[in-house]
Structure 1
């Protein structure tokens, strides 16, 4: 105890100096983290005012945040007395080993850069990518955030997006609705076709150009199938789809045209013995 007390007394000035340095270093990290958040937030707002895509702004602000935070940590280490030059060299050597261990994360980062460069989609687009569907909310360094129509949040690794086909439903201003409507074999095909044409022609959301298609597409097992393919504005796709399905059913019922359901006929044959 006496030795410890004597050592603390002899080195009290040095200990106090290191404590002050550590406190200042922690303050630097705290301020740097606050600064990184502030700068990245201001940058995202500035890009938004310049009408830069929200997803691109989120990606660039994430990179700025990471760079400022890394620089802050180096400054804090330097203030404590750690030689940052050798520390950076050690980090470089360790980075190679870590990079090999974190190939997936690096692939996600590289994929994020490719998404920003080639822009297969933008914020707000409804896409199907990586086996899931949703509206693009933002693109981050390692992942892309999607929101489903029922407001679920999907965080999708960027490498899954660039490594698989991407379907963007929002790129074109118009979309075609593809419906298959079956009627019974005993129905008047000309009457059924006229009813379908009237429904399509009378719907306010359906475009005149390109012209809609109503035609027999298949003689199925239990029904004659019509292909009903009108064009609408992309924003009107689902409301029009739902409205057409309901209207077609009601109009066919009004005209006593049945919509068959799958069924099976079983013929039984009895045999008598000798």
Structure 2
């Protein structure tokens, strides 16, 4: 009897307990039952931990065996993104993470159940369960309250998606020339659709924004303002190029494949995007020109001229005053007719552009068949001019030079027959 009283006194004097407040509700029998239940739950907890460990080892062995034969690497064309070994390591990592998670769940449920057996720790059990149950309850209620807004957002996005698919079908037919609108060119179809798609999605975002979760929170508003300021400060040049690209699209100064001259760059247009225009020169150099620079400079489209009234290529030569101008005209026209890529009709023609101090400047003009071969046509023209004038014994005074006349009479061309 004395030992029993001492045991009860020790229990009521545990650290953190007030001896006057804590009493055994049903005596030693209740305490013994609580200890027995605690031992049983602890034994079950240890058994579950050992079972979880064995299942983990078994699952890891089976996973390794399956991965060795079934898992393949991930490749993007010729680039190896993920090897089979790395994928296997990730799967094993996920398996280990699952084991840790299940262990924490067991510990979380074990401790409140253990504490609930004793009156002085029974309040901790409800508190520990509340740490998880309260957030789950709030998340569940928030999700249920968001369902109507989520339905509105989903219906809006689906309607916009299928409306854009309908517009794309019309755009494709307009681009192919099957659907024709007066004053609307086929090459406008795709850019117009892209602009319309951007505007439609922007308005859609404005409509569904109030229905997004957390849109009313100060943090969400602060992030939106920060991103807006960052976009405004860092994209001024990009916006200028984009606006210029839209204007160029509807101006139609050139199209893909045209031979053009933009500032000092001469070549074929390879690509025309919203921000830049890419040109391939005759030297196979790929030049990227911002659309703002394209819009602010003069553009020469040789292809459009060749397809319309024919493109005129011109080159200049200087000949002395002693050579009759009619003969020079004849030699220059013959040189143009013999050049490859020069049209027979309209016929080449010559202008006398200047009467200089020591020679006369002649300009040969010839119509080119295609704009793509301008460099070759110019080379052929110059070769033929050299050959024709050499055969006729006429000296080309380019560059000019000075010579002493030695007191001779005036140098005049012979009188025309």
Scaled by the length of structure 2, the TM-score of the pair is 0.45
- Aligned 8 A contact 1:53 1:123 in 2: no
SS of the residue aligned with 1:115? helix
Deviation at 1:155, TM superposition (A): 4.0
Task: Tell me the residue number matched to 1:227.
Answer: 363
When you count helix as a share of all residues, which structure comes out higher? 2
Task: Tell me the residue number matched to 2:177.
Answer: 50
Task: Tell me the residue number matched to 2:6.
Answer: none
Task: Tell me the residue number matched to 1:22.
Answer: none
Task: Tell me the residue number matched to 1:195.
Answer: 331
Task: Tell me the residue number matched to 1:271.
Answer: none
Task: Tell me the residue number matched to 1:33.
Answer: none
1:147 aligns with 2:291: no
Deviation at 1:154, TM superposition (A): 1.4
Task: Tell me the residue number matched to 1:243.
Answer: 380
Go from structure 1 to structure 2 and tell me whether the alpha carbon gap of 1:165 and 1:88 turns closer, same or farther (over 3 Å shift).
farther
Of 269, 287, 290 in structure 2, the residue corresponding to residue 156 of structure 1 is 290
Alignment: residue pair count: 254
Task: Tell me the residue number matched to 1:119.
Answer: 252
Task: Tell me the residue number matched to 2:215.
Answer: 83
- Aligned 8 A contact 1:178 1:228 in 2: yes
Go from structure 1 to structure 2 and tell me whether the alpha carbon gap of 1:244 and 1:130 turns closer, same or farther (over 3 Å shift).
closer
Go from structure 1 to structure 2 and tell me whether the alpha carbon gap of 1:117 and 1:190 turns closer, same or farther (over 3 Å shift).
closer
Q: Distance in 1 between matches of 2:216 and 2:314?
A: 63
Deviation at 1:133, TM superposition (A): 3.7
Larger Rg: 2
1:3-54 residue CA offsets vs partner (Å, 9 max, x unmatched): 9999579758989x99xxxxxxxxxxxxxxxxxxx99998986664338978
Task: Tell me the residue number matched to 1:254.
Answer: 391
Q: Unaligned regions of 5+ residues in structure 1, if any? A: 19-37, 268-274
Q: Distance in 1 between matches of 2:222 and 2:171?
A: 33
RCO higher in 1 or 2 (8 Å CA, sep ≥ 6)? 1
